[in-house]
Chains A and B, each alone.
Chain A
Amino acid sequence: DIQMTQSPSTLSASVGDRVSITCRASQNTRSWLAWYQVKPGKAPKLLISKASDLEGGVPSRFSGSGFGTEFTLTISSLQPDDFATYYCQQYHYYPWTFGQGTTVEIK
């Protein structure tokens, strides 16, 4: 199975900060990479697919980049609604696999 490793596991930041989360794949997944936002008790939300394609309705402060084995999710100016856990997921190989998650918490 493809291992997806996110860093950091936890990120403490303030409103207005620029934050980045890295996701590394154990094998080349080309651009077949998605990012999700998960909050307790709520449905997970797709933010980005194909490494950099922003999902409709997702604020433009979210962006994705990368190819192959290294990917980044960036939030350009952190907003109160953005405090959550973020997961990357590869869908180039079965089984589709997720990273372990990065929790963005209030500093």
Chain B
Amino acid sequence: EVQLVESGGGLAQPGGSLRLSCAASGFTFSEHEMNWVRQSPGQGLEWLSNISISGTNALYADSVEGRFTISRDNAKNSLFLHMNSLKPEDTAIYYCAGGHGYFHMWGQGTLVSVSS
């Protein structure tokens, strides 16, 4: 069974940092591009970042470019999102999702709250 399990969410202060993780199982992680997508309270979904299979190439939405960094460890079947300079508007449920373009597998998400 395909599983993506996010962790690392919680409360952070404005300007602070958090590191999200996504543990993958049930499929060959190293054969899939991976992404982070978020859903802000009462809002829709927003794609944030994509990372290539090897991890050498990454894309970002303008809203997080320069503040967030996506990475992966294929040996450990894990995806990461390093979030710096957090803003209150970064408050959201963060999902990891597999695929290029469209997302055929998703985790259940981890909640990030940014507040003083």
| CB pair A45 B59 closer than 8 Å | no
- Given known A94-B59, A95-B61, A95-B62, contact A44–B102 (CB-CB < 8 A): no
User: B47-69 toward A: CB 8 Å interface, digit per residue (1/0)?
Assistant: 10000000000010110000000
Give chain A nearest CB distance to B96 CB in angstroms: 10
Contact of A87 among B45, B62, B97, B105 (CB under 8 A): B45
| CB pair A46 B59 closer than 8 Å | no
Number of A residues near B (Cβ < 8 Å) is: 23
Interface residues on B, range: 20 to 34
- Given known A32-B101, A46-B104, A89-B102, contact A99–B95 (CB-CB < 8 A): no
User: B88-105 toward A: CB 8 Å interface, digit per residue (1/0)?
Assistant: 000000010100011111
| CB pair B44 A43 closer than 8 Å | no
Interface residues of A in 76-107 (CB under 8 A from B): 87, 89, 91, 94-101
Binding site for B on A (CB under 8 A): 32, 34, 36, 38, 41-46, 49, 55, 87, 89, 91, 94-101
